[in-house]
């Protein structure tokens, strides 16, 4: 479990810094050899949405796409 003070500090970071931290955390868990193109693509897509380069789906659009 993450101590509350660390969580609070991290969540107050700018989006770009949180994305970089998230990338580093994923890479620390998944060995570089196992970091597949699918994971890398997922990270890029999250970054695109977070940076406003693409618009994410609304919850309704997401649920409709699952049907």
pLDDT by residue (tens digit) across 33-52?
666 777 888 888 988 988 99
What is the share, in percent, of the chain residues with pLDDT greater than 90?
34
Alpha helices, H only, 1-67: 4-11, 15-29, 37-50, 59-66
Give the lowest-confidence range in 25-29, 32-36, 59-63.
32-36
Mean pLDDT score, 21-30? 84
Q: Domain range for residue 36?
A: 4-66
Q: Decide: 19 and 50 in contact? Cβ < 8 Å.
A: yes
CA distances from 59 to 16, 39, 65, 67 (A): 24, 22, 10, 13
Q: What integer best gives the mean pLDDT of the chain? A: 86
pLDDT of residue 48: 92
Burial of 67 from C-beta contacts in 10 A (0-12 / 13-18 / 19+): exposed
Say how many domains are in the chain. 1
**pTM for this one?**
0.47
């Amino acid at each position: 479990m993450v101590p509350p003070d660390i969580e609070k500090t991290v969540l107050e970071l700018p989006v770009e810094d949180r994305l970089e931290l998230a990338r580093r955390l994923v890479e620390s868990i998944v060995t570089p050899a196992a970091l597949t193109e699918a994971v890398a693509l997922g990270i890029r897509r999250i970054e695109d949405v977070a940076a406003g380069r693409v618009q994410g789906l609304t919850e309704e659009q997401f649920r409709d796409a699952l049907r």
